[in-house]
């Protein structure tokens, strides 16, 4: 099974791209997908970024992938991955005061992330074009965070990708969903030929 992650900031278009890619790939192959697990987070707003919440997200995401992996499909598309949960945790750490207890907990999450990130065959990092984001904020009914949040998150993604030597494929969200999905399908086809 080829396992593919669609990673990036909230509002970048991961879910839309994944849905379109799944439609295209399903014409020829068996394709399973995993929804963004953070939508199922049972913790209240005050605890959404706590260690317990992040541990829940990481471990449940891994469990979902394992369950889908036994379906004998050709491909598994993941709306977010352990990379995204690790980035959320790092963002949380940048907003709080560190102590020994938090450092120990952070080390647990880091080990889980580093162990599992290697299991993805392809990681698509959906980049945020500020102009597209502004337009989307005007058109969509849900509220997206401000540009400062996106700049901060993109910086965290880029630093983590570099520091952890992750092989990612950047897809900018400034094309139509169809164009972006076709680009992703081309990359997947190239990977499968190897």
| Domain limits for position 41 | 2-193
Question: What local confidence, expressed as pLDDT, does residue 42 receive?
Answer: 87
User: Would you write out the chain's pLDDT as a tens digit for each of its 194 residues?
Assistant: 999 999 998 888 899 999 999 999 999 999 999 998 888 888 876 676 789 899 999 999 999 999 998 888 899 999 999 999 999 999 989 888 888 999 999 999 999 999 999 999 999 999 988 777 767 666 665 566 777 888 899 999 999 999 999 999 999 988 889 999 999 999 999 999 88
| Rounded-to-integer distance, Cα 84 and Cα 131, Å | 23
Assess contact for 76 and 22: CB atoms under 8 A: no
Q: Please give the tally of structural domains in the chain.
A: 1
The model's pTM: 0.91
- Tokens 């890619």 belong to which residue? 21
The CATH number of whichever domain residue 188 belongs to comes to: 3.40.50.300
DSSP states of the chain: -EEEEEEE-TTSSHHHHHHHHHHHHTTTS-EEEE--GGGG--S-GGGTTSHHHHHHHHHHHHHHHHHHHTT--SEEEEES-HHHHHHHHHHHHHTS---HHHHHHHHHHHHHHHHHHTT-SEEEEEEPPHHHHHHHHHH-SSPPPPHHHHHHHHHHHHHHHHHTT---EEEETTS-HHHHHHHHHHHHHHHHH-
């Amino acid at each position: 099974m080829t396992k593919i992650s669609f990673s990036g900031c909230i509002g970048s278009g991961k879910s839309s791209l994944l849905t379109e890619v799944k439609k295209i790939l399903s014409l020829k192959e068996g394709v399973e997908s995993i929804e963004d697990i953070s939508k199922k987070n049972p913790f209240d707003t005050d605890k959404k970024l706590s260690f317990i919440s992040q541990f829940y997200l990481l471990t449940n995401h891994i469990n979902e992938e394992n369950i889908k992996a036994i379906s004998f499909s050709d491909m598994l598309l993941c709306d977010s991955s352990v990379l995204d949960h690790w980035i959320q945790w790092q963002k949380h750490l940048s907003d709080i005061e560190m102590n020994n207890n938090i450092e120990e907990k952070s080390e647990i999450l880091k080990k889980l992330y580093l162990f599992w990130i290697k299991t993805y065959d392809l990681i698509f990092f959906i980049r945020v074009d500020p102009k597209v984001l502004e337009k989307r904020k005007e058109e969509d009914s849900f509220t997206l965070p401000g540009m400062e949040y996106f700049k901060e998150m993109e910086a965290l993604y880029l630093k983590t990708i570099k520091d952890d030597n992750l092989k990612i494929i950047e897809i900018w969200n400034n094309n139509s969903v169809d164009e972006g999905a076709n680009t992703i399908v081309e990359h997947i086809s190239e990977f499968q030929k190897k």
